[in-house]
A and B are shown apart, each in its own frame.
Chain A
Amino acid sequence: MKETLTATLTERYIYDVTASLPPAQQQDVRTELAASIADQIEARIEQGEDAADAERAVLTDLGDPLALAASYADRPLHLLGPRFYLTWRRIALPLTALLAGLVALGVTIGNIVDEVPWHEIVIDGVATTVTVAVQVLFWLTLAFVIMDRTGATNTEAWSVKSLKPISVQPQLRGSAWGEIVVAAIALGALAWDAFIGLAWVDGERIQVLHPDFWPVWGGIAVASLVIPVLISVHATRVGRRTVASSVVSTVVSLVGLAAMIWLLATNTLFSAEFTALIDGALSEALGGFTASPVTNALIALLVIVTIIDLADTWWHTIKSERLYRASLSAA
């Protein structure tokens, strides 16, 4: 190797190709490649090409030196090959989701016990999920890449036994009935509270909800109970969840969540009498306990439940949309 400053393009190219090869192969490849490149350049010059242009053209044709080196050394030009990719997808993705979810759940429970403010609980939960997911995914993928490159055999390869029974959302009908029952009970409770009062103190009925709950917040509550039921019924009729219906239910649950957070954060969800009742009961039970950690935990819980619910909704929507498309193209 000459000094870098005076090295020709060819010398630099050959250096780049051979640098990453096993030492035993280097000298051999260097000699052969030098001769081949020189031959090709010579042939071009004989055709009347300028020497510098010929060198440039030959090296350009040979392409990225690292790709050529990989080809010499029989190294793949991808991170994870087809032998392990599907197994990676079957194992790594569900495992990542499971571990991230479990750790985030643990952290969230810990935070609730520690009376951390609700927005910090949410931020902490999301951050934990992302961190754990990235870590698990990184190390698992690294393990797969190492197995792939060291030529390990894939024992988890597919066989007929791995076929699963087809389920085109048979649970939809049952869950639609469940939603109808839950919504009916909740609507009944809302009406009962508005006209009679759900709780009673000293033989006197009091309203649980704040007097300003009706009509605006109450309307939102009724809508966010009724609309999901309509969507479920629609899904049962159509036989699948459509993207449009899932967009509607996403909007409804986000509006509902925002309304609940606002009401809880401003202490306007429950009536003064009911808040006093709860506070009294809590401080009697725990001593000097105030409702605000309970409120925070409630908000964090709502946020988490909504996120899980939305993830579930979209998971099923995408799945049934795919099945629907597949059945269309098969027909």
Chain B
Amino acid sequence: MTQDESLDTHLQELRRGTVVLACLQLLRTPGYGYSLLEDLKRHGFVTDANTLYPLLRRLEKQGYLVSEGNTDEARPRKFYRTAPAGIELAENLTIEWSALTQAITALTTEGES
């Protein structure tokens, strides 16, 4: 494995959990597959369609998202919205994220001094 490839793997592993958190936050306002894909991209969370769609279903099955079909438009779409349990999960994940950020920052400043 070249250095570039292993860098990609490490970055991927670091980003893995963040997509879930980003989805839960973005879907506080309802959205559908493609719109969410674009929103994620715009906010800097580049995600593949083939990871996002199954992920949304998994989160729905676990009760963190709720969905409803929208047949008003020409194209029938499935809209997802973050459920109360999802909002709670997002809050927990955010707390963990800031704790990690602090821990990493402490590491870096310790290393410098």
Contact = CB atoms under 8 A, between A and B. Distances in A.
Interface of A: 28-29, 31-33, 35-36, 38-40, 43, 58, 61-63, 67-68, 71-72, 74
Interface in B40-87: 48-51, 53-54, 57-58, 69, 75-78
A72 B34 contact: no
A32 B53 contact: yes
Contacts of B58: 74
Contact of A32 (B35, B51, B78): B78
Contacts of A29: 57
Contacts of B78: 28, 31-32, 35
Interface of B: 32-35, 37-38, 48-51, 53-54, 57-58, 69, 75-78
Contacts of A63: 50
Contact of B54 (A31, A38, A58, A72): A72
B53 A33 contact: yes
B interface SS class: helix
Contact of B76 (A35, A40, A43, A67): A35
Contact of B57 (A31, A39, A72): A72
Given A40-B49, A62-B49, A35 B33 contact: yes
A interface SS class: helix
B12 to A, nearest CB: 16
A68 B58 CA distance: 13
B34 A68 contact: no
Nearest to B69: A31
Which of the listed residues B58, B76, B78 has the most CB atoms from chain A within 10 Å of its own CB? Answer: B78
